Amino acid sequence: MKGINQKGFGHHLLIIIVAVLAVGAAGFAGWKIYSAKKLDAKAESSSVLGNGGEFIPLDPSRIMDTRNGNGGYNVAIPANGTYSLQVLGRGGVPAADVVAANFIITAIKGSSSGFITAYPSGISRPTTSSINFAASQVIANSATIKVGRDGKINIFNGSSGNINVALDVMGYYSDTNGTNGLRHITQSQTRLLDTRTGVGGYRTVPAGGEVVVSVPDTLGTEAVEGMVATLNSTSSGYLTVYPADASRPNSSVLNFAPGQKIANTMIVRTSSDKKVKIYNGSNGTVDILFDLVSVFGDRNRSNSSAWGKFVAIDPIRIVDTRSNLGIVGQLQYGQFSKYNVYGVMGLPNNLDTIAANTTIIQPQADGYICNCSLFNVSSMNFAKGQTIASMMNVPVYNPGYATVYNGSKLPTHLAVDVYGYFVYK
């Protein structure tokens, strides 16, 4: 069984998960409060009744691959084309009582640069994006997508050429009458594996090799949100991250070219002894990093509390510095920029985390950003001129804003799309 291999892929990205402490003064850039169309507050609040909003992790399963017909399509998505994908009833996802699912979306060797928008069926296509790609590139991103009433999501190809797409489902969020599941628990980002230095007990991983990562038990951890990165690879290939007590699946979370440094964030089930495996699907050696971002646990918490439950929404864009939306002007070097979350487009004031896709747009220099209040960790790294996206669960601070730090030496544009949020009360 194989993931997506990038043999012949020549678009090299400079992505370094270890953030270098930036030199220079850090300050807060201007931020903008605005009003827009409201979410349906009554509908959103009712979605956390019963088991609503609880997460059920799955063993990774590929439910779409346009190269071989998996998912109903055996041809690449054409320019500006949309494919409709059945999610409910496939890959371990129940046939009913599901509000959203978490995926790894992989864009595979498009004939031109562009983006993919994944969104619920039954709504107009939003002005958001899920992943950006260059021509001939293979690149993956995590995505949490609300499922339409017919059990489907739509995949739109926002490019002038064809693109093959694969989707691996990693878990789902229950509706009110769905399966009892897990609550989201915020954590400080922590490095659990670094094969360059021996953190985690491993050194450079050989071709076809695996490492086992132990994660902390926080209120009965059963799944983790982790950031995985590759460095010093001697061959093109892919990584598969999966529960340590499961057979290795035919899926992947990250693709890399020789010498490429690249990262992705994913949600993965842990084994009963709190471990995950990482497989090197290449013919060469590679160094691997793994950071813990957050965890899912507390399965037995009473439904009288909505704490840690997820509310899925139709995707909305709350920041786009190109139009001064949410943040006025580009992100400046060495600065934290605030953007408002509470009250924006109907987002409530009882959330502590947003499921957000952050896109860096044609930066003027290599660098990194951090979706946090500190600048000694990295959420996403980028090269000069590279448009790249990363989805993760972003913390929201009192009195209702999130922050982003620009760790490059020049300004860059930023967009933030929200796909849902976790409540804390």
Q: Alpha-carbon distance 425 to 48, whole Å?
A: 11
Q: Are 393 and 321 in contact (CB under 8 A)?
A: no
pLDDT value at residue 38: 54
In the structure, what pLDDT confidence band is assigned to residue 371 with cuts at 50, 70 and 90?
confident
pLDDT value at residue 372: 79
Query: Residue ranges of the domains in the chain?
Result: 27-38+307-423, 49-174, 183-297
Phi/psi-derived region of residue 160, left when phi > 0, alpha when psi is between -120 and 50, beta in every other case = alpha
46-55 burial code (b ≥16 CB/10 A, e <16): ebbebbbbbb
Q: Alpha-carbon distance 119 to 91, whole Å?
A: 19
Mean of the per-residue pLDDT values for the chain? 90
The H helix count followed by the E strand count for the chain is 1, 25
Peptide bond just before 249 cis, omega within 30 deg = no
Rounded to the nearest 10 degrees, how much is the dihedral formed by the CA atoms of 205, 206, 209, 215?
0
Rounded to the nearest 10 degrees, how much is the dihedral formed by the CA atoms of 167, 173, 176, 182?
160
In the structure, what pLDDT confidence band is assigned to residue 374 with cuts at 50, 70 and 90?
low
Read off the pLDDT of residues 228-256 as tens digits, 9 standing for 90 and up: 999 999 999 999 999 999 999 999 999 99
pLDDT value at residue 18: 33
- Which of 39-43, 65-69, 115-119 shows the lowest mean pLDDT across its residues? 39-43
- Which of 211-225, 341-355, 362-376 shows the lowest mean pLDDT across its residues? 362-376
In the structure, what pLDDT confidence band is assigned to residue 19 with cuts at 50, 70 and 90?
very low
Asked whether the CA dihedral 194, 197, 201, 203 is positive or negative, the reply is positive
Cα–Cα distances in Å, from 89 out to 40, 71, 85, 251, 425? 27, 12, 11, 18, 31
Is the confidence at residue 13, as pLDDT, over 50?
Answer: no
Q: Alpha-carbon distance 316 to 78, whole Å?
A: 25
Q: Are 142 and 101 in contact (CB under 8 A)?
A: no
Pick the CATH number of 27-38+307-423 from 2.60.40, 3.90.550, 2.60.120, 3.40.33: 2.60.120
Is the confidence at residue 347, as pLDDT, over 60?
Answer: yes
Read off the pLDDT of residues 120-153 as tens digits, 9 standing for 90 and up: 999 999 999 999 999 999 999 999 999 999 999 9
pLDDT value at residue 313: 97
Is the confidence at residue 33, as pLDDT, over 80?
Answer: no
Q: Residue 341's closest CA among 383, 252, 404, 267?
A: 404
Return the DSSP state at 217. Answer: -
pLDDT value at residue 262: 86
Place of tokens 């509310």: 311
- Mean predicted confidence (pLDDT) in 188-202: 95
- Which of 59-73, 377-391, 404-418 shows the lowest mean pLDDT across its residues? 377-391
Place of tokens 């270098």: 20
Q: Alpha-carbon distance 368 to 388, whole Å?
A: 11
Q: Are 268 and 170 in contact (CB under 8 A)?
A: yes
Is the confidence at residue 398, as pLDDT, over 70?
Answer: yes
Is the confidence at residue 10, as pLDDT, over 70?
Answer: no
C-alpha angle 392/396/402, rounded to 5°? 85
- Mean predicted confidence (pLDDT) in 212-227: 97
Q: Alpha-carbon distance 260 to 233, whole Å?
A: 7
pTM as predicted: 0.89
pLDDT value at residue 4: 53
Greater pLDDT, 13 or 422: 422
pLDDT value at residue 74: 97
Return the DSSP state at 270. Answer: P
Is the confidence at residue 9, as pLDDT, over 60?
Answer: no
Question: How many percent of the chain have pLDDT more than 90?
Answer: 81
Q: Alpha-carbon distance 204 to 190, whole Å?
A: 20
In the structure, what pLDDT confidence band is assigned to residue 327 with cuts at 50, 70 and 90?
very high
β partners of residue 152 = 86
Residues 6+ apart with CB under 8 A from 323: none
In the structure, what pLDDT confidence band is assigned to residue 40 with cuts at 50, 70 and 90?
low
Q: Alpha-carbon distance 323 to 127, whole Å?
A: 13
CATH of domain 183-297: 2.60.120.340
pLDDT value at residue 203: 98
pLDDT value at residue 378: 78
Is the confidence at residue 80, as pLDDT, over 60?
Answer: yes
- Mean predicted confidence (pLDDT) in 259-280: 95
Q: Residue 151's closest CA among 80, 102, 98?
A: 98
- The letter for the amino acid at 70 is N
Pick the CATH number of 49-174 from 2.60.120, 2.40.160, 2.60.40, 2.20.28: 2.60.120
Q: Which of 12-21, 246-255, 379-388 has the highest mean pLDDT?
A: 246-255
Read off the pLDDT of residues 145-187 as tens digits, 9 standing for 90 and up: 999 999 999 999 999 999 999 999 999 999 999 999 999 999 8
